[in-house]
């Protein structure tokens, strides 16, 4: 068959609507989010991942080709402009018809406030209640509880990320469920021809996330009350959900270096709380941690909040969460 007749046949078999059907083009930022988005998309297309390999969103910058991908996309899914700050200029310059979806604003997603300083207890008390979220919710009960034995002095509230929020929000499977729902809804609006597929995939993923939550709860229950220190404050969502006892971080974000004062505070904290472990992250230098732990009876563990060393794809989110639980258990459980 000549090419001409082949074209004619195509036109006959797939009239205008099918030929004009939009190509599914989706861009995402970090691996865990990409994993959840891809899970919803299934066979309908491949979501593009911006932060590949072991790169961290802290201190990342976009390549020109990535900006072009964004310009040609149907939708861009990201956590929050305050988290992927490298997106800011690109998002502003995008054509109107590119749908920009910040998952920190998704219905049902819970946000926690950023903790100030590294040795949290001492600083939580002056954590302001006068900031932008105060009128979004009733925080009087939280306020009363604050300052008691609860080491998690931060609050819960829904929606709208700002600089005042800790935005590592994907590390709570319940947030992952709300992200899944939001992604299915947005994609369904954009590509209605695939709506049923998105819905089915989302339901399957939500069921898996519920199972994951149960598994993690069982796995992490014996770690209650075991104090530990982390490199950067990436885990409050995991801690809040599973009642873990992180007592401090060396830095708020890995691109802000820890001061000598912070190091001293952390060393005191390790001694005061009998911290069992101090956790490194695969993509960052260990020197700081080693200095903090030097001469103290703490073990060195590894936690990877981004799945930095894992293959991108639908399984990544689940593997990453299970690996985090393994990392915590391996280090915090008493060696037998
Ligand atoms: Zn971080």
Distance 224 CA to ligand 1 centre (A): 23
Looking at per-residue pLDDT, the higher value among 263 and 315 belongs to: 315
SS (HEC) of 240-304 = HHHCCEEEEEEECCCCCCCCHHHHHHHHHHHHHHCCCEEEECCCCCCHHHHHHHCCCCCEEEECC
Distance 6 CA to ligand 1 centre (A): 53
pLDDT for 33-63, tens place per residue?
999 999 999 999 999 999 998 888 888 999 9
**Confidence band of 159 (pLDDT split at 50, 70, 90):** low
The two tokens of residue 307 are 């799945």
Give the rounded percent of residues in the chain with a pLDDT score beyond 70: 79
Distance 76 CA to ligand 1 centre (A): 20
Per-residue model confidence (pLDDT) at position 243: 96
Give the rounded percent of residues in the chain with a pLDDT score beyond 90: 64
Distance 7 CA to ligand 1 centre (A): 51
Overall average pLDDT of the 117-132 stretch:
42
Dihedrals φ, ψ of 324, to 5°? -60, -45
Looking at per-residue pLDDT, the higher value among 238 and 261 belongs to: 238
- Please check the confidence at residue 142 and state whether its pLDDT lies above 70: no
Return the sign of the alpha-carbon dihedral for residues 218, 159, 78, 229.
negative
Distance 200 CA to ligand 1 centre (A): 32
Q: Are 28 and 50 in contact (CB under 8 A)?
A: yes
Residues 308, 172: Cα–Cα separation, whole Å: 18
Per-residue model confidence (pLDDT) at position 114: 85
Per-residue model confidence (pLDDT) at position 118: 56
**Confidence band of 151 (pLDDT split at 50, 70, 90):** very low
For residue 320, what is the enclosing H or E element?
A: helix 316-332
Per-residue model confidence (pLDDT) at position 222: 96
Delineate the domains of the chain, giving CATH numbers in brackets: 14-108+168-214 (3.40.50.1980)
Q: Which residues surround ligand 1, an ion (CB under 5 A)?
A: 234
233-263: b (≥16 Cβ within 10 Å) or e? bbbbbbbbbbebbbbbbbbbbbeeebeeebb
- Please check the confidence at residue 138 and state whether its pLDDT lies above 60: no
Distance 192 CA to ligand 1 centre (A): 35
What's the predicted TM-score (pTM) here?
Answer: 0.83
pLDDT for 172-217, tens place per residue?
999 999 999 999 999 999 999 999 999 999 999 999 999 999 999 9
Per-residue model confidence (pLDDT) at position 279: 96
């Amino acid at each position: 068959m000549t090419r001409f007749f082949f074209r004619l046949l195509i036109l006959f078999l797939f009239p205008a609507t099918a030929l004009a059907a939009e190509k599914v083009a989706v861009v995402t930022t970090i691996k865990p989010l990409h994993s959840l988005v891809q899970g919803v998309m299934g066979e309908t297309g491949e979501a593009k991942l911006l932060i590949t390999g072991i790169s961290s969103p802290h201190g990342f910058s976009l390549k020109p080709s990535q900006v072009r991908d964004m310009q040609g996309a149907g939708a861009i899914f990201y956590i929050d402009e305050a988290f992927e700050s490298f997106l800011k200029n690109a998002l502003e310059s995008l054509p109107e018809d590119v749908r920009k979806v910040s998952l920190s604003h998704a219905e049902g997603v819970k946000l926690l406030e950023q903790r100030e300083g590294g040795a949290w207890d001492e600083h939580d008390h002056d954590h302001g209640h006068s900031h932008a979220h105060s009128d979004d919710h009733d925080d009087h009960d939280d306020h009363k509880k604050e300052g008691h034995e609860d080491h998690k002095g931060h609050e819960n509230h829904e929606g709208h990320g700002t600089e005042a929020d800790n935005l590592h929000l994907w590390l709570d499977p319940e947030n992952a469920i709300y992200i899944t729902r939001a992604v299915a809804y947005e994609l369904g609006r954009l590509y209605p021809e695939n709506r049923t597929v998105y819905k089915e995939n989302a339901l399957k993923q939500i069921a898996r996330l519920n199972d994951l939550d149960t598994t993690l709860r069982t796995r992490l229950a014996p770690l209650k009350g075991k104090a530990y220190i982390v490199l950067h404050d990436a885990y409050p969502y995991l801690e809040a959900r599973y009642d873990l006892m992180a007592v401090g971080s060396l830095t708020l974000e890995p691109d802000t270096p820890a001061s000598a004062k912070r190091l001293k505070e952390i060393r005191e904290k390790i001694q005061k709380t009998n911290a069992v472990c101090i956790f490194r992250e695969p993509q960052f230098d260990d020197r700081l941690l080693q200095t903090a732990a030097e001469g103290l009876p703490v073990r060195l563990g590894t936690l990877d909040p981004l799945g930095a060393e894992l293959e991108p794809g639908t399984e990544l989110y689940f593997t990453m969460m299970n690996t985090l639980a393994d990392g915590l258990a391996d280090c915090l459980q008493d060696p037998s």
